Amino acid sequence: MMLVEIVNPYYLQVGSFILINIILGLSIYVTLSSGQLSLGNAGFMGIGAYTSALLTLNFDVPIIVGVIAGAVVAGLFGILVGIPSLRLQGVYLAIATLGFGEVIRVFFVNWESVTKGAVGISGIPHIGREIFMVLKDAGFDPAIIGLKNNQFVFLTVFFVLLLINILLVWFIFRQQNSRIGRAFAAIKMDEKAAESMGINITYYKVLAFVQGALISGFAGALFAHVMSYISPADFSYHRAVEILIFAVFGGSEVIVGAIFGATFLTLMPEMLRFISEYRYMIYGLILLLMMAFRPQGLIDVQVLHWFQKLRLPKRRAEHGSKNQKHL
Amino acid sequence: MRKLFKKPFLSISILMLVLLSACSGKSSETTGEGTSSKEGDVINAKIGVISYITGPGAAYGEAITNGFKLAQKEINDKGEVNINLVIEDSAGKQEEALSAAQKLMSDDSIVALLGPTLSTEMNVVGPEAELNGIPIMGTSTTAEGIPQIGEYVFRNSLPEALAIPTSIKKAVEKNSVKKVAILYGNDDVFTKSGFDTMKKVAEDMGLEIVTIETFQKGQSDYNAQLTKIKGLEPDLILCSALYNEGAVIMDQARKMGVDVPFVGGNGFNSPQVIEIAGKAADGLIVATPWFGDKENPKVQAFNEKYEAEYKMKPDQFAAQAYDALYIMAEALKNAGEADRDKLKEALLEIKDLEGILGKFSFDKDGDVVMDPTVLIIKDGKFKVFE
């Protein structure tokens, strides 16, 4: 009985969007961590979404294969774009990748025989519903655990995405503290110095770029299978900017920043629904204040340290004897 | 190392906890106020509205919600049905429209949904409403295939597939047309689906299509396409454009000396065309369900009330929304109680309901059956084309 009340499709839906946006935020975080500013993530997202949608619709490929194929194809495009744009830095790279994203969008608009142009593709298999069908055929009924069908569908989507998120965060976190992560950080600090230290800049920069492309393609494919409908307008430059804001708002220096940014910025418009017309004004205002007072993003290394300091003494006081307090 | 490794998990788990606690807190709130029952003879019903209230297309959402509110007031004053509207914003984005729809659908006291504004949004929201078994009616979704999404999906907005053939047929008869040129915006769902209809109708009627030209949203120079069209000397130009681009196209065409009539889709049908293009707008033919200057007492009364309430003239979106709520009210009355499934059945049975757009019926899919009026701009004014 409790479950029925808590498992509200609306909250799960918003939760699913948050999780997808976190993946998108992470995709730009990875490229940013090697000092490259890419605005092509919306384009890569589109490639992932269209690849997976078309494969599952036209060739009856299972969703999981479609999603992986979507990510891989986006990654391949990442290599294609990443190598020639290596020579570009900062704003120039941003403009080149922004151009790439637009090219991809216009391509989807014009390749009508396959993508149905601006009308978009509908009826894409839905992750939750497909899983539900498979389980139902196996004799499982959600009523056993006290859930309605649609609650169960949304719950599965949410947990699938949550699992993917945890794995992804774990991977990026491990990588950050590995040789690759250190190389990224070195390149971000100073490319010339990093090169003279013997770091293969070409390799690492393309690697970071491709990882970003791969992850956004992955997010795009998931997006397609959660929405069941995609159109080229979903991957316009507004999306690219939105993705960038996720990372920049939360703090682009730490991984928690991107996660927080995506969560907060997806949740806020929903939380502010009660003031309807004015909610995007407040959204804009918060962004403005943020950039004025904390240009490095809400969460950075100092904030994390501060949190740690706040926590650690408490723990000691709990576990330690009274004498330790005086030391 | 191990300590660092724990952090993201911790933050995620905290986030999820916060989310979950937010969930439980709010859901109890909404269940408390659900009171849609029959009190005496009055049927109380709560209807959810998803509209495009913030963002670049907010003007549409405003007109639509105004139309709903005006109709709501009148219906509630009559006292047979008492409608409560719960309005949510979609900002023109599919994700937000879906979230808003989920929010409304999870409230069991809401019997039906009106909206969303755009066809792209309906493509996402429609299947979800179908799955949850709640009637949903679009008041401005004109693209192909919307009511075919499912049994619970309706619309009262005249689809392009119905409007465009009527206007083309009338224009062809009147001007003995043999050769047509087509010009359309290929990066917009609305204009693209209008073009598909135009092409099909022209082919079915055996007209010779001399050329098909495209343009993009926000383009300002159409001379290249128009020069080519001028050289081919068509008798009629079929132009699937939204009014802001369409008006500029007409202006440039007239300046170039192309004086054949234009046939436009629903998005071309706006008083703004005359404002932007001035005299150049003469000769634009559109089919529309809504004609504000119609000499019908109902239409005139609506015009007056709307202007008194909102200080501006109603457009077709306001009119369609106004009629939509009347259709809902009629169906609720026939259903006898506020029940999602009974309401769906009652909606399907709506026949020849007299509204400000004319006589209205649903076909078996939940699509519109009505006769559009064909209008032409003459001397800077919309007039009935006969």
Output the pLDDT for position B23: 43
Output the pLDDT for position A225: 94
Q: Which token pair is A311?
A: 């926590």
Confidence of residue B34 (pLDDT cuts 50, 70, 90): very low
Euclidean distance between the first and the last CA atom of chain A, given in angstroms as a whole number: 52
- B258 φψ region: left (φ > 0), alpha (ψ -120 to 50), beta (else): beta
Amino acid at B325: L
Give the mean pLDDT of A162-179: 94
Structural domain range at position A120: 2-297
- Domain assignment present for residue A304? The answer is no
Total count of residues recorded for chain B: 386
* Cα–Cα dist B151/A288, whole Å: 46
Nearest CA in chain A to B150: A123
Compare CB distances from A269 to B9, B20, B96 and report the shortest one's residue. Answer: B96
The CA distances from residue A243 to A39, A81, A106, A173, B41, in Å, are 8, 19, 20, 20, 53
User: Which residues, including other chains, have CB under 8 Å from residue B140's CB and lie 6 or more apart?
Assistant: B60, B64, B115, B117, B118, B157, B317, B320, B321
Output the pLDDT for position B338: 87
* Cα–Cα dist B228/A294, whole Å: 55
Output the pLDDT for position A319: 52
Structural domains present in chain B? 38-158+296-371 (3.40.50.2300), 161-288 (3.40.50.2300)
**Do B202 and B209 touch, CB atoms closer than 8 A?**
yes
Cβ contacts (< 8 Å) between A17 and chain B: which residues? 95, 99
Q: Looking at CA atoms only, how far is residue B352 from chain A in angstroms?
A: 32
pLDDT at A71 over 80: yes
Compare CB distances from A10 to B11, B103, B145 and report the shortest one's residue. Answer: B103
Determine phi and psi for B77, rounding to 5 degrees: -65, -35
pLDDT at B345 over 70: yes
- Domain assignment present for residue A303? The answer is no
Nearest CA in chain B to A3: B24
Rounded CA Rg of chain A: 22
The bridge status of strand A229-230 relative to strand B136-138 is unpaired
Give the mean pLDDT of B361-367: 87
The CA distances from residue A111 to A73, A95, A104, B131, B187, in Å, are 17, 24, 10, 32, 11
Output the pLDDT for position B205: 92
pLDDT in tens, B87-146: 998 888 888 899 899 889 888 899 999 989 888 889 889 988 988 889 999 998 887 788
- Domain assignment present for residue A69? The answer is yes
Q: Looking at CA atoms only, how far is residue B304 from chain A in angstroms?
A: 26
- Domain assignment present for residue A310? The answer is no
Q: In this structure, is the dihedral angle defined by the CA atoms of residues A13, A42, A108 and B115, taken in order, positive or negative?
A: positive
Cβ contacts (< 8 Å) between B124 and chain A: which residues? 227-229
**Do B270 and B319 touch, CB atoms closer than 8 A?**
no
Cβ contacts (< 8 Å) between A123 and chain B: which residues? 127
Task: Taking each helix axis as running N to C, give the angle between helix B94-105 and helix B119-132, from 0 to 180 degrees, rounded to the nearest 10.
Answer: 30
Output the pLDDT for position A316: 52
pLDDT in tens, A184-238: 999 999 989 999 999 999 999 999 999 999 999 999 999 999 998 998 988 988 8
Confidence of residue A3 (pLDDT cuts 50, 70, 90): low
Output the pLDDT for position A5: 64
- Domain assignment present for residue A316? The answer is no
Cβ contacts (< 8 Å) between A119 and chain B: which residues? 143-144, 189, 192-193
**Do B382 and B375 touch, CB atoms closer than 8 A?**
yes
Output the pLDDT for position B43: 87
pLDDT at A114 over 80: yes
- Domain assignment present for residue A168? The answer is yes
Confidence of residue B14 (pLDDT cuts 50, 70, 90): low
Output the pLDDT for position B136: 94
C-beta neighbour count of B261 within 10 angstroms: 18
Q: Across the A/B interface, how many CB contacts are shorter than 8 Å?
A: 120
For residue A193, the domain's CATH number is 1.10.3470
Determine phi and psi for B338, rounding to 5 degrees: -85, 85
- Domain assignment present for residue A325? The answer is no
The CA distances from residue A300 to A254, B206, B235, in Å, are 6, 68, 66
pLDDT at A141 over 90: no
Total domain count, chain A: 1
* Cα–Cα dist B54/B91, whole Å: 5
Contact at CB, B89 and A277, closer than 8 angstroms = yes
Lowest mean pLDDT: which of A267-281, B113-127, B167-181, B205-219?
A: A267-281
Cβ contacts (< 8 Å) between A263 and chain B: which residues? 15
Confidence of residue B253 (pLDDT cuts 50, 70, 90): very high
Q: Looking at CA atoms only, how far is residue A13 from chain B in angstroms?
A: 6
Q: Which token pair is A85?
A: 């744009």
Sequence-ordered alpha helix ranges (H) in A34-178: 41-59, 63-82, 90-110, 112-115, 127-137, 149-176
pLDDT at B206 over 60: yes
Contact at CB, B8 and A170, closer than 8 angstroms = yes
Output the pLDDT for position A28: 94
pLDDT in tens, B272-314: 888 888 899 999 999 888 888 877 888 899 999 999 999 888 8
Contact at CB, A228 and B124, closer than 8 angstroms = yes
pLDDT in tens, A145-163: 777 777 888 888 999 999 9
- Domain assignment present for residue A318? The answer is no
User: Which residues, including other chains, have CB under 8 Å from residue B147's CB and lie 6 or more apart?
Assistant: B153, B154, B155, B365, B366, B367
The verdict on A178 touching B (C-beta cutoff 8 Å) is no
